Structure 1
Amino acid sequence: MDDLQMLATTLAAPEMSREAVDRGRHRLLNRMRGPVSRRRRPRVLAAMLGLTAAAAAAAVVVTTSGTTAPTATPNSPPAELSSRQILLAAARTAEARPAGSGVYWHVKTIDENKKSTSKPVRGVLETWTRRDGMRWDGWNGRVLTDDGPASPAAFQVAFTKLTSAQLQGLPTTADGLRAWIDDSIKRSKTGRVPLGAERTYVPRTLIELLYEFPAPPRVRAAAYRALAALPDVKSTGVVKGGRGLLINGGTADEQRLVFDPETSLVRSVDTTMGASYHRVTVLAAEWTNTLPKVTPHKTLPPGRG
């Protein structure tokens, strides 16, 4: 390797310590003092000085440009992911998870409700829903029956009641699922859906599809992709339980979602509505073959109405 090649290699290498730089300079000076002809030495020296000046200029460019357009290095911290990147990654994970099987769709949550003029009501809520629509409710460890067998259409998604089979047939693309939810909101028979309610009901329904209903993997993936396409979604970074997202932040109906990026499973959902809020911490959302002992009961527990 001649002198110019050695210098080029040195300049192209990663950042070096001050000692390494001094050793390299010393070696170059020794080579320059060696047995070379009087005619060649000025040319070599000029080349060295020119390359050194060019290296210094390049260092200035890198240093000044780094303040406006930083370049990633092996030692730099990873860039923070956007909400869209986080949700699209969760969609891929959700799509790869097995659908599961069992007799009952079991959801267990810690529910906390607070209305503006009341004290918070907090307890453990459980539901078991059979594929034929029969449903059991549990509250703080007691499994209760309501008023008898439910309709086969036991799953209310947005404003539409679906059977287990219909739930499996929901759209599996983000655009298709969003259009289905929009249509369900428009067709509501309650007459209480105000203009512009999509901003609230669309993300709420998409989140419910991620844990409250036994939606198949491709539908859950579509729900994550539809959330990624919403305009008012912001990442809140790594939080307790996984990744945090803020939806419709600063509005009268604000939602905070936490999910585990390793599994795509929802961990908690907080919904703030003015001075009221509803907090759900998800303990289980899975198929099971076991229904605990049932205690007959005809009225809903406190906080369920």
Structure 2
Amino acid sequence: MNPIDELRAARPAHLGDTPTDERTRRSELAYAMSHGTPVKRRAKPRLMWGLSLAGAAAAAVTAVAVLTAGTGAGTAPRAPSAVESSAPGELTAQQVLLVAATQAERQPATSGEFWHTRTMGRHLFTAAGGYVMAVKQRDEMWVSANGVWSRSQHLGAEPATDEDRAKWAAAGSPSEVEIPVPGKPRGMRVTIAPGKPHTGHQAGKEVFWLGRNVTLADLKGLPDDEVKLKAWLLRHYEGKSTESDAPMAEDAWLFQVTAGLITDMPVSAKVRGAAFRMLAALPSVTAVGEVTDAEGRSGTAIAFEQESRVNLADDNPGTVQDRLVIDEETGTALGRESVVVKPGGMQAGLEPGMVGSSFAVVRAEWTDSRAS
């Protein structure tokens, strides 16, 4: 029995009848998202949680890092709703995160010359023809103390469901589809066929973004106490989004930044544990329960609900549930998911409960070699 199951079995039955406090869950969640000039950030292509989805569409076209989700033809991807996630007997987000912290702290230390990550992602877009397309992407990074080497590939796009495939076929099965962008006269264009791999290299010591650009040495010096780690991060919080000058509540900012630290960065086992404990103290983080990620792996998800706006001209913003999916056995992150709560903006045309975008962490390890 894994630690999550052990804790679930030991939980007194009467505690499962306690409803989620909706006022707490929804307080301080909404913030305005703009597609303006991004803040200075790390050289490593930013995983775009919280970005306007138009930015993700542009990334899909240019074969840089894209958040993607879904399945191929067949049933559109769906996820448990907030109501389904609060079933009696399920663990709270705080319990899940504290178990994850304990498991994370038990992981052995490793080392190498390069921090290597490989992610797989998919993203759903509603095309101008009214059908939904799933765009696929693969990204790899090798990070050293002196720079970043990257390799990204657009893996193609396909209709998300059989119904979408029929609409696409009726439109002539175009090899490129147009994606409308709210508030902009021109949309984005996404190709159906896979693209060639794109490689890149950027020199420099500031290779990650953690509220500001940071180095590997900065990551090694992070506090391994949750209170001190929170204080360290908040030194760089200015009341704005992680990607633009749009307002962002403190809890939302901490969730975005800390989830990125957990999924993306080579921090020590104790720092990762402190990050989980810090998230456990955020009152607006909720439990989702057991989920299956984009790679078919089972994990436990915690979430933060937020408004998703393409730009300030977008008068029909959507609401999404940003999920962090955790491996129960190791306390490591399997990836992130963005689930549609209220369709709007770039999520217009999607249904509530659909996994609008996701990325799965396939590799996250130290190595002494990198691909040429």
Q: What interval of TM-score do these two structures reach, taking the shorter chain for normalisation?
A: 0.5 to 0.7
Structure 1 residue 127 and structure 2 residue 141: aligned?
Answer: yes
Alignment of 1:48-197 (within 5 A): 79-114=89-124, 119-139=133-153, 144-146=198-200, 148-158=201-211, 160-186=212-238, 192-197=244-249
Larger radius of gyration: 1
Considering only aligned residues, what root-mean-square deviation do their CA atoms show, in Å? 3.3
CA displacement at 1:98 relative to structure 2: 1.7
Give the Cα separation in 2 of the matches to 1:117 and 1:202: 33
Q: Which residue number in structure 2 is paired with residue 260 of structure 1? A: 327
- How many equivalent pairs are there? 218
Equivalent AA in structure 1 for residue 287 of structure 2 = S
Question: With structure 1 as the length reference, what TM-score do the two structures score?
Answer: 0.62
Equivalent AA in structure 2 for residue 87 of structure 1 = L
Q: 1:68 to 1:236 in 2, by over 3 A?
A: closer
Counterpart contact for 1:133–1:164, Cα < 8 Å: no
CA displacement at 1:112 relative to structure 2: 2.1
Question: With structure 2 as the length reference, what TM-score do the two structures score?
Answer: 0.52
CA displacement at 1:261 relative to structure 2: 1.3
Q: 1:230 to 1:190 in 2, by over 3 A?
A: closer
Write out per-residue CA displacement over residues 184-232 of structure 1, whole angstroms, 9 at most, x where no aligned residue. 2329899933333434321111111112111111111111001101112
Structure 1 residue 243 and structure 2 residue 300: aligned?
Answer: yes
* Structure number with higher helix proportion: 1
The farther-off stretch of 235-244 and 277-286 is 235-244
CA displacement at 1:128 relative to structure 2: 0.8
Give the Cα separation in 1 of the matches to 2:124 and 2:150: 24
Counterpart contact for 1:232–1:249, Cα < 8 Å: no
Give 3-state SS (helix, strand or coil) of 2:246's partner: coil
Give the Cα separation in 2 of the matches to 1:198 and 1:106: 30
Counterpart contact for 1:136–1:143, Cα < 8 Å: no
Q: Which residue number in structure 2 is paired with residue 36 of structure 1? A: none
Write out per-residue CA displacement over residues 109-155 of structure 1, whole angstroms, 9 at most, x where no aligned residue. 11223456684431211111112234333436976442x44211111
Equivalent AA in structure 2 for residue 178 of structure 1 = K
The farther-off stretch of 118-127 and 102-111 is 118-127
Structure 2 gap ranges (5+): 1-12, 17-87, 156-195, 293-297, 309-318, 348-355
Write out per-residue CA displacement over residues 255-290 of structure 1, whole angstroms, 9 at most, x where no aligned residue. 112111110111121135854443111111111122
Give 3-state SS (helix, strand or coil) of 1:243's partner: strand
Counterpart contact for 1:88–1:225, Cα < 8 Å: yes
Give the Cα separation in 1 of the matches to 2:286 and 2:154: 34
Give the Cα separation in 2 of the matches to 1:179 and 1:117: 43
Q: 1:286 to 1:191 in 2, by over 3 A?
A: closer
- Greater RCO, 1 or 2 (C-alpha within 8 Å, sep 6+): 2
Give the Cα separation in 1 of the matches to 2:112 and 2:14: 56
Give 3-state SS (helix, strand or coil) of 1:113's partner: strand
Counterpart contact for 1:114–1:278, Cα < 8 Å: yes
The farther-off stretch of 267-276 and 186-195 is 186-195
Counterpart contact for 2:303–2:324, Cα < 8 Å: yes
Q: Which residue number in structure 2 is paired with residue 222 of structure 1? A: 274
Counterpart contact for 1:257–1:270, Cα < 8 Å: yes
CA displacement at 1:104 relative to structure 2: 1.1
Structure 1 gap ranges (5+): 1-66, 71-77, 295-305
Give the Cα separation in 1 of the matches to 2:202 and 2:305: 38
Structure 1 residue 232 and structure 2 residue 284: aligned?
Answer: yes
Give the fraction of aligned pairs with identical amino acids, expressed as a percent: 29
Equivalent AA in structure 1 for residue 142 of structure 2 = W
CA displacement at 1:102 relative to structure 2: 1.1
Counterpart contact for 1:243–1:259, Cα < 8 Å: yes
Give 3-state SS (helix, strand or coil) of 1:184's partner: coil
CA displacement at 1:247 relative to structure 2: 1.9
Q: 1:155 to 1:187 in 2, by over 3 A?
A: farther
Q: 1:103 to 1:114 in 2, by over 3 A?
A: same
Give 3-state SS (helix, strand or coil) of 1:254's partner: strand
Give 3-state SS (helix, strand or coil) of 2:257's partner: helix
